[in-house]
Structure 1
């Protein structure tokens, strides 16, 4: 059993590393080509069919790049395709989903206080939502609404907000955010696999056959590429959100997710406008900061930003926590709800070492990790994962009261 758990951990590590590498490659090439496309300059000396050109310098050399809006007059001898970065990013991400959330459904996917379902049902819901997301998105793009790029994006935003709310009604907060990222990333990768690359292959086939390619294929591909561009930053946030319980483990997590999508739009709009040489819209950063402050407020309503107690920023001494009147009840709570995993020898099945090396078996250890307990299990519902030990709302309030009481006691 021990060897199996170790092997499973290394498999998860390998899949995660593979996912990081491919995601960097995909995001890097995507951002580069968007910036290149927006920075193209039309000049009179361009060859027939060329839309614009760009001179760039990198690595000690100069690059002269030209773009053909539809296609050149004839097929080039060598053509580089940018597609495998997208494919392998999705494949490795789905592998991670299977290893972590499907393989550990009871711990990471299901919160029976949210929805009491079996692992098999939860996995089917997960798979179905990813597939349904692409179908709905693709139908919207191909509908008459698809001819209005910004109108379409507004409707798609409503769909994403609905999915953010829906996932929080089905899974743990951690899994809800991860699935929202997977839902969006599936749309993005399917855009490449189902639309962008097939359209490019049609254009290539027309060139080889000596036919003039239809410009509609490039226009459709460009629209899907634009969607991918604006969705990239939110996807990154959701894929990393499992490290930040104040984003996914709070009451208004789905609203936070909705605001994250807007932040992705404002940030990308600044870069896109700048690359297009249309100025530097600083208002986008002002809006982004306002949205981020709103997210902070929603994550801890109402205390962290109302000045009542800036508890998370304070690190009281050991005696302050142990001497607080709430501590005996907190110690009992931690021993019954947390120490099955956070112990030198965890007793929870599949856990062979305390997560992140955190042990909560004595007064000193509990006091040393008071802030983490407060954030992870008091202020948010990140711990226990999936509320596997059935910690109650009153018990979470006890953890909050203990930490904040100790902090206030030190201030006085």
Structure 2
């Protein structure tokens, strides 16, 4: 638990660059213009001077902690912080007592910042609720995970969620300039090449903390002999082992999987290959993608092109047998094929509807003519009686036969789409239904079908 700017009273020599150049005024904060620009949500809150409890949701290194500190400073609130990785209910209670004492003795507001709040369990999250309600502190939680899934509804109902975005290139460039001109950064008089700047920005991948860490490391490699020139070669030496941001268990992971799947569904091989490459670049297991590709083949292509499933399974097999890079190329081939193939979700939709009906309907008996009769008793009970063996019928089709429970005999689930092979499938099914109708007219001529 720390007070805002307490650490400026101590030596900052040991601190990383990101801590040394942390802005002390909101005017020096970089990024999040969609929240802090004129007329934007947080700017209006600050202008009113009435800061409410809130959740900051965004990727690492976008300024969640800094923004919370600056909010506390703006409304003259004492800043306290907890890390959900380290703290427990005991720590929360201790902090609550400090906040209460602060209000009683000094009439001072308290702002509690909880980093990685999603790591608190339900009971720990619930521990904050009464103190948010009675105004013991302004609660600000920070999370990289989707609050809808990771935070209790009770906590969410008491907080406003603000989405923080990755910093864009202009933001990161501005941050570099700020560091190079800031005496608190304690950097040498670096002369930064344009190519080196671009490389730093690309390597940062929207993460301000990563940018500053890279800049600090790079600054250690320049000296008077090179006139403190920071070249692209020096930056490249630092970032050559870089792995881009990719949270295998978090929202970025599922967002990229979703983007790849939707690119396939939207018939964009370029989009599908791009997101696949992004995932590989971030360290995703290709076998996970291979499994998802198999799903896409059934869900989005289906019988419009049944070869898609074979190609997807083959790609999975190649990845299992050969690994990288051969397997990744096979997966890329499957993705491009699926994206280019005719689309049908007819089987997917039919199966979903059947499952829903099975759960909602009574447990209908199997019609007697469809039952098996392996024993004499079952045979005597009529199991299988009047069953028509399709292969003995004209064109191997028992026209008029019913294969559903009697109560739902007329339901139709599978509706082929007018694309790919399903055009022919639809034509065939229609011909068979015409035969069914003719059969019914022969059996019941008084019916007008």
Q: TM-score normalised by the shorter chain: which range applies?
A: under 0.3
Q: Which has the larger radius of gyration?
A: 2
* TM-score (structure 1 length as normaliser): 0.23
* TM-score (structure 2 length as normaliser): 0.22
Highest RCO, 1 vs 2 (Cα 8 Å, sep ≥ 6): 1
Specify which structure has the higher proportion of helix: 1
